[in-house]
A and B are shown apart, each in its own frame.
Chain A
């Protein structure tokens, strides 16, 4: 896990309701990126769309948010971010990406600020001139990271400690130049930018193909999404997805930033199908988390 690029995955959509397929996308994407050897996926973010998106049959955000919370009870790395759904109006995907990237950046900055202050105190605590400089250093960095983690937890409402872990990887790797204790301050500042996770948009092949639809996306937005952020796209082995990417100038240009993930479980559990099944009074057990099914029944949702 040394020197892997930390990544956070953002999934936008209606989540009307959230299904096992939505959750699977995160798992598939994480496995795929980890197995390239280049990335370390530290966080997943679900951002349900604003009510003002105006999609037919879209139930109130408060319900969609509640169902997502229940679905995420058993996940230790995926979180819910209701920011988008709480805005006054519908928010373009690129703005959601920007917002969450900034949030991640500030979290990292705050953490490093804490670390810089701690270094001074810690230097006094640990005898940095001792012959065991290396192990002293490790202990010091360990303490710093733990402190940074708890600061991060206190600050962020989604209590992610993964950003702190990513930082540890960068600082405590064997090939970091850490034998000179005096260099720590500079090292910390320099690594903030490295350590902010790359935020990538996680989506299905169907979303990618909508880039073609006239007037649905702004051209500059598509460019920013694929260039600045990047895409992780779950496909069912559509042969034409690759073709679609090749035939689009903008996508082809940034193809290295587009990760196509093959879905080995052919899984068509779309929310549309779920709603249709529910209208018919059919069972949806094992297609959504049990807690979400309970919620739907309690609130009499998605009935005919």
Chain B
């Protein structure tokens, strides 16, 4: 591959000084669109350019059916579409854990789960590295010594759009402790387009303001406002979604006849899971 693709990737010598980051995106992905995929690219470029981070992985975690959002089709289909959409990516992958749980899982819990995974991985690597070091004879000037030195678990950050950060202020949608954990312990990379009011949101919330250095705002200069709601509407109306969502996803949707007026009515009279859980 030519240099251009990795123009933003830090060179080897610098890499060890940077904090490794894994980005986690939660959401309905109903269906996944090019905009969702773009968010990862934008976040990675941004973090690399700060000089402090190197993004090593992206995770897409579609919400479970138990979220009861209106128009949310079965997880099995949404997972399949994400899988297809990420086929052409060498760093963004699908996680089905959240959607496989019996009930709706709070975002903070999903972050905790994935962080534990990353910690376990890193602990295993540390064990292996120790064994290797003992087994190997010490060589002077080992070129890749950094690979023998096991790293700490990477930083796990929530990747989302301005709408999610703005929703932190909606009563009974988020637990205060969860918001604190998300921005305080993990961190947020928030993609917003020009003219969004997300900075105002941060200013007006004491919790977020406290951890504002952990909230990275990335401006999407090339506006690409592809909401899944609009995509579903277009599909219902027989309008083209080519170049808006991956072709393979469109084919899948057509093959399984997903997204008609009937599917949009799913959960029409059902209360959203967080409201059910918190508004008691």
B68 lies within 8 A of chain A by Cβ: no
Residue of B at shortest CB range from A236? B223
Out of A24, A30, A303, name the residue touching B244 (CB < 8 Å).
Answer: A24
Out of B8, B44, B224, B234, name the residue touching A264 (CB < 8 Å).
Answer: B234
Binds A, one of B136-144, B152-160, B235-243: B235-243
Write the nearest CB–CB distance from A21 to chain B, whole angstroms: 8
Interface string of B26-60 (1 = CB under 8 A from A): 00000000100110011011000000000000000
Interface string of A245-267 (1 = CB under 8 A from B): 00000000000000000001111
Could you tell me if B230 and A269 are in contact, using CB atoms closer than 8 angstroms? no
Write the nearest CB–CB distance from B6 to chain A, whole angstroms: 9
Out of B7, B37, B239, name the residue touching A286 (CB < 8 Å).
Answer: B37
Out of B2, B233, B238, name the residue touching A297 (CB < 8 Å).
Answer: B2
Residue of B at shortest CB range from A20? B243
A290 lies within 8 A of chain B by Cβ: yes
What CA separation (Å) do A277 and B221 show in the bound complex? Answer: 9
Cβ of B247: which chain A residues have Cβ within 8 Å of it? 74
Could you tell me if B224 and A268 are in contact, using CB atoms closer than 8 angstroms? yes
Residue of B at shortest CB range from A71? B243
Cβ of B44: which chain A residues have Cβ within 8 Å of it? 283
Out of B2, B88, B222, B224, name the residue touching A298 (CB < 8 Å).
Answer: B2
Could you tell me if A265 and B7 are in contact, using CB atoms closer than 8 angstroms? no
Interface string of B84-106 (1 = CB under 8 A from A): 00001100000000000000000
B4 lies within 8 A of chain A by Cβ: yes
Cβ of B42: which chain A residues have Cβ within 8 Å of it? 283
Could you tell me if A265 and B222 are in contact, using CB atoms closer than 8 angstroms? no
Given contacts A24-B244, A28-B240, contact A283 B230 (CB under 8 A): no
Cβ of A285: which chain B residues have Cβ within 8 Å of it? 37-38, 41, 89
Could you tell me if B222 and A290 are in contact, using CB atoms closer than 8 angstroms? no
Could you tell me if A267 and B239 are in contact, using CB atoms closer than 8 angstroms? no
Residue of B at shortest CB range from A293? B5
Given contacts A31-B240, A286-B37, A287-B38, contact A303 B4 (CB under 8 A): yes
Interface residues of A (CB under 8 A from B): 20-21, 23-24, 27-28, 30-31, 35, 74-75, 264-270, 273-274, 277-278, 281-283, 285-287, 289-290, 296-298, 300, 303
If A286-B34, A296-B4, A297-B1 are given as contacts, then 10 extra A-B residue pairs at C-beta distance below 8 Å, sorted by A number, are A20-B34, A24-B244, A30-B240, A31-B239, A35-B237, A35-B239, A265-B225, A265-B226, A282-B8, A287-B224
Report 9 cross-chain contacts, Cβ distance below 8 Å, ordered by A residue.
A31-B240, A74-B247, A268-B223, A270-B222, A273-B222, A278-B4, A281-B8, A282-B41, A283-B45
